[in-house]
Amino acid sequence: MSDKINDILQKKRILILGFGKEGQSSYQLLRSFFPELVLGIADQDDGLPDKHPQLKDDPFLIMAYGDKYLENCSSYDLVIKSPGIPYEKLGKYCDAEKITSQTDLFLRAYSKQVIGVTGTKGKSTTSSLIHHILKQAGRKVILSGNIGIPPLSPEANLDSDTIVVFEMSSHQLEHITIAPRIAIILNIFPEHLDHYKDFTAYKMAKFNISLLQTEDSKLIYNADDPIIGELLKEYPAVKDQQSFSLHTDGEHAAFLEQPDIVLADEAEDIVIPVDSAKDLPGEHNLSNMMAAMLACRDCGLEAEEIKHGLSTYERLEHRLELAGTFDGVRFYNDSIATIPEATIEALRTLEKVELLILGGHDRGLDYSILQQWLLSHPVPVLLFMGDAGGRMYNEWKQSLADSTDCILVSGMKEALQIAGTRLSDGDVCLLSPAAASYGMFRNFEERGDLYKKMAAEFKRLPSGGDLK
């Protein structure tokens, strides 16, 4: 353990708030270094003791679970909070200065080794792409955060020359005290509005990745995103800034000059063909590629090393993933699309979609941008599920009636049954919900997995055939 982290933790009563993947790794880490330190675990899940029976054998552990799990937070000196628990829940139970997180503790010790990646969309792809390119080039690198191992996990096994690629959500960035040396901001769209007071609070949580950098840091950002531009004007910084853009412009550190991506260099520009990447379709992925390429160049990689990494990268599941062709119909799984802008990007990339499945948990997002896209780029059949789907259906059905068949469905099973009566050989069926999965599924992965399972069993039926 880093001496800095050790100094923060020792001789304190520590509460681990939330016992998911990250909370469990916090417990393992603390117990490995402080076997007799009094620890608390608090989690809303009243089945905590049964799910983790090994905890009952820890004589220095205090557990609180169920509806009253927050009531004793104030009796601890330090609270290590899991990212998904809103700070607003803690106000009357715990002083803000006591609250920290794995992310903040990790950055206090290792920020100079970290490439932090944030954005409303694309951060998993960009983080995994950077990790892949660096690993293929022989660098010692780990992937951490939302898609990798928890930052303070004992298995991280960091030393001074390890590069840490860290996917960072707004929840993780909300109350950090120091930011990564290399920070990447891909985009900012309205999301998680059920978690934050307003969109401004969400934007500022994301922008902490820039605000809290030191002067010797580097910011890589999307010059095409107007919200990022506004924030940089409002909060200018003297640190090194590198922008990337889909437009040909010599002012940017990386830009698109079809059929190439150009990395500007004082000596000689680095030119890498777009088609070096075999499995990153869509305009949005060009932005992700440019961000990754700039970060890898900063780590000392040559053009050929970057090209090799791009050519061998395979996209993550649930990101415009071809689930397969079944009974003549191509099924695409884009369950990660939880905002309307992501669904538009999927439709733009595929160009021709005959049936689109939308909806899920309603977080109050404005869907008018997607409605306008569908008015000018009609999809023959739209299936709507969940609360968000119900709202879209009610708001859109009249305006889309001339070009689109809008149908409310109870869930994925009915959606695929209807698809069986509407789709023909060569058609495309797309799951790109523009809404979160909660309420109907545990997460977007479960939603995508069910879609793929049902797609694999798909059979076309005569129009009006039996759906039972």
**Arithmetic mean of pLDDT, 25-30:** 87
15 sits in which H/E element: strand 14-17
Least confident of 38-47, 86-95, 263-272: 86-95
- pLDDT given for residue 154 in this prediction: 61
The angle at the Cα of 220, spanning 218 to 226, to the nearest 5 degrees, equals 130
Whether this model's pTM surpasses 0.85: yes
* 448 neighbors 317 (Cβ within 8 angstroms): yes
Query: Percentage of residues in the chain with pLDDT exceeding 70?
Result: 97
For 5-14, write each residue's pLDDT tens digit. Answer: 788 888 889 9
Q: What is the mean pLDDT of residues 317-340?
A: 96
Q: Decide if pLDDT at 467 tops 60.
A: no
Q: Identify which has the larger pLDDT, 97 or 61.
A: 61
- The average confidence (pLDDT) of the chain is 91
Which of the residue ranges 204-213, 238-247, 372-381 would you say has the lowest mean pLDDT?
238-247
User: Does the pLDDT of residue 116 top 60, yes or no?
Assistant: yes
Does the structure show a pLDDT above 80 at 468? no
Please count the other Cβ atoms lying within 10 Å of the Cβ belonging to residue 367: 20
Does the pLDDT value for residue 259 go beyond 80?
Answer: yes
Residue 125 sits at φ, ψ, to 5 deg, of -60, -45
pLDDT band at 194 (very low <50, low <70, confident <90, very high): low
Q: What is the pLDDT of residue 263?
A: 95
- Of 249-253, 277-281, 355-359, minimum mean pLDDT range: 249-253
Q: pLDDT higher for 246 or 102?
A: 246
Give the model's pLDDT for residue 466.
47
Residue 130 has pLDDT above 90, yes or no: yes
- pLDDT number for residue 1: 56
Residue 464 is predicted with a pLDDT of 46
User: What is the helix (H) or strand (E) element at residue 204, kind and residue range?
Assistant: helix 199-211
Cα 290 from chain centroid (whole Å): 18
Average pLDDT (160-176) is: 91
Q: What is the 3-state secondary structure of 102-158?
A: HHHHHHHHHHHHEEEEECCCCHHHHHHHHHHHHHHCCCCEEEEECCCECCCCHHHCC
pLDDT computed for residue 132 by the predictor: 98
pLDDT greater than 90 at residue 166: yes
How much is the average pLDDT of 326-344? 97
